[in-house]
Amino acid sequence: MKTRRETRQQLVPHTIDGTTRMVPDDIPVDIPVPPRDWDRIALGTATGIVAIALLGCVAFSTTSIGNLLDRVTPTPAAYGAALLFDLAWIGCTIIEWLGRYTPDRVRKARVGGYIALAVAMGAVAAHGWLAGNAATGLVGAVVSGLAKGLWAVVLDYQAAPLSRRDAAFFEQELSEAAVELARVPVRRRVNRARAMAEAERIALEADRGSANPDRSGESADDSDAEILQLHPNAPTTKDAVRIAWDAGVRDDAEAVRYVAKVTGKAPSPDTVGRYMRLLRNQVAG
């Protein structure tokens, strides 16, 4: 077995005048070296070949199609549009790679990639024909086909073969994850809508001059008992109920008084009672 020597720092005993202490020291250590993975090297080489072929294909077809479009459009626009011919099928191929574990989801990308490739090859061939050299146009079109073919071969080799049951299992896993992700914006919209409805209800009650009917728990010496405080940045009714609950308030009437004080507006006793019941149910559950 092959090994390589490395120097590592370890604590070793060292004695001076009869006193022993653990001190750091550099110790050479032989580390086993795993055998060379020729399969991985070969796959990396094939992937590099595909990357080089892809770059050559993009350069050639962009130049060819750009020269074709340059006859009727400005040069920057012509070559920018020519680049899209190859980017279309390359993007579809990337989608195929990302969906290699769920083949049913990438069927459209696979078909679209071949259609985009056929269009690009046709444009290259048309350029050669119009330039008076049809053979050059056909050979140039084959360049794009070879690049796509090499990529498809490597993609098929690296994609793990899955049975129908395995593919269905992964589809369900992705579906559950998508539901969890989709619930985030939906929950945000629901909470925003409920908050707006609650704010509108409180505003309408304030316009009608509603007051807190239960004032039995207020002290006559409390300066806030006869004055309704206005707090522009006050929390919502739901937040105030939660704060009161965390502070140990369990009586609905007391919670109503607290909410009215911190929000600056008299809340609906039914609303406060509903929030209190939800908190009791959470504790009971």
Angle at 22 between CA 18 and CA 26, to 5 degrees: 120
List pLDDT tens digits, range 68-100. Answer: 888 888 888 888 888 888 889 889 988 888 887
Average pLDDT over residues 226-249: 70
Q: pLDDT at position 221, please?
A: 45
Kind plus residue range of the DSSP H or E element containing 106:
none
Distance from the Cα of residue 254 to its chain's centroid: 45
The pTM assigned to this predicted structure is 0.52
Q: State mean pLDDT over 24-38.
A: 85
CB 56 within 8 A of CB 147: yes
Query: Is residue 8 helix, strand or coil?
Result: strand
Alpha carbon of 272 to those of 96, 133, 263: distances in Å? 54, 84, 13
**pLDDT, mean of residues 145-155:** 86
Q: In sequence order, what DSSP letters do the residues of 13-72 get, joined into one string?
A: EEEETTEEEEEEEEEEEEEEPPPP-HHHHHHHHHHHHHHHHHHHHHHHHHHHHHHHHTTT
Give the number of other Cβ atoms within 10 Å of residue 57's Cβ: 24
Q: pLDDT digit string (tens) for 163-205? A: 888 878 888 888 888 888 888 888 888 888 888 888 777 777 7
Q: Which residues of 85-102 are buried (b: 16+ CB within 10 A; e: fewer)?
A: bbebbbebbeebeebebe
Q: pLDDT grade, residue 263 (50/70/90)?
A: confident
SS3 assignment, position 216: coil
